Structure 1
Amino acid sequence: MRYTVLTFLLLVVISQSYGQALEETLKKMGIELYPPTKSAGNYLKAVRTGNLLFLAGHVSTRADGTPITGKLGKDLTIEQGYEAARITGISLLSTIKNEVGELGRVKRIVKLTGFVNSTPEFTDHPKVVNGCSDLLVALWGDKGKHARSAVGMAALPSNYAVEIEMIVELEDQ
């Protein structure tokens, strides 16, 4: 019994140190997490089942609430779309931290689905969603690599540029 308690305490200390290291990495990247916004309807921002955390679609909104809107291929460049996806990734990270307490609890990023508000002629959706994918890999390395879909949409709610949903595997508690 004593071994089990000591093992548990050691794992808690390691997890906290890892979580702190991730927070330091974010600071070095110039990223600050913030309290997530409330859902816009009768749904949750995140639902946990077992060790999986399913995050609802998060839209391209800056920490101060300023939306990033417009269509790729008309109003926004690939670079602007990439940044919108990166900012959406920060929103997703903020929700993960709010839901599970610390980013060190993430075992791996499993799947992203990226929706890009774009003209019919625009075909570089993956380059846009890379803004979020690159952020996750920069933070977690191989644990941040994930399966992914990146698709174009005729419209997104309120003309947001990007919406991304994510599935995350969490460490055992």
Structure 2
Amino acid sequence: MTFTEEALARLTELGLRLPTDPPPPAGAYLPYRLHNGMGFLAAQVSGSGPDALTGRVGAELSTRHGQQAARAAGLNALARLYQALDGFERLECLLHVAGHVASADTFWDQPMVLDGASLLFTDVLGERGGHTRTAFSHPRLPHNICVELEITFAYHD
């Protein structure tokens, strides 16, 4: 079984499948960029339009809602990775995830919210899904979304 088949089987075990059409860029930029063995995913969100969880975690949304949004953004990121690399075979590993959480002024658990995505990455990609991470808190994110992920990864030809 190939690594791509293994990752897709893990998704199925989790009751998930890759989105066939992850949310498009919200502006004039590329959804991903590959360059000399390093790849970058831009602005991975939980959804767009009426499917998006909107608001601030700790105000309009609970921590659990934030984790669900992070997991959905992570699933969209996996779909974008799959698209960028024509599967997961060429993926060496995730390197870094920058997670942005729209948060109430008194909400301090951004790392717990972002675990929704981080745990998904390791559940699906195993060791290749391990990564470093930074958590950012923002008063608002574009289009009032609650979670946004930026991902840097290594790949081979």
- Output the TM-score relative to the length of structure 2: 0.93
Q: Give the count of matched residue pairs.
A: 156
SS of residue paired to 1:104 = coil
User: What is the CA–CA distance in structure 1 between the aligned matches of 2:140 and 2:34, rounded to whole Å?
Assistant: 29
Q: What does residue 18 of structure 1 align with?
A: 3
Q: What does residue 45 of structure 2 align with?
A: 59
1:39-54 aligned within 5 A: 39-54=25-40
Q: Once structures 1 and 2 are overlaid, which stretch shifts more, 113-122 or 20-29? A: 20-29
Matched-pair contact (CA < 8 Å) for 1:114–1:163 = yes
1:1-173 aligned within 5 A: 17-33=2-18, 34-61=20-47, 66-170=51-155, 172-173=156-157
User: What is the CA–CA distance in structure 1 between the aligned matches of 2:46 and 2:122, rounded to whole Å?
Assistant: 19
Q: Identity percentage over the alignment?
A: 29
- Give the superposition deviation at 1:72: 0.7
- Give the superposition deviation at 1:65: 6.2
SS of residue paired to 1:21 = helix
Deviating beyond 4 angstroms after TM superposition, the runs of 4 or more aligned structure 1 residues are none
Larger Rg: 1
Code of the residue aligned with 2:110 in structure 1: it is: H
Instruction: Please provide the CA RMSD for this pair.
Output: 1.6
Q: What does residue 6 of structure 1 align with?
A: none
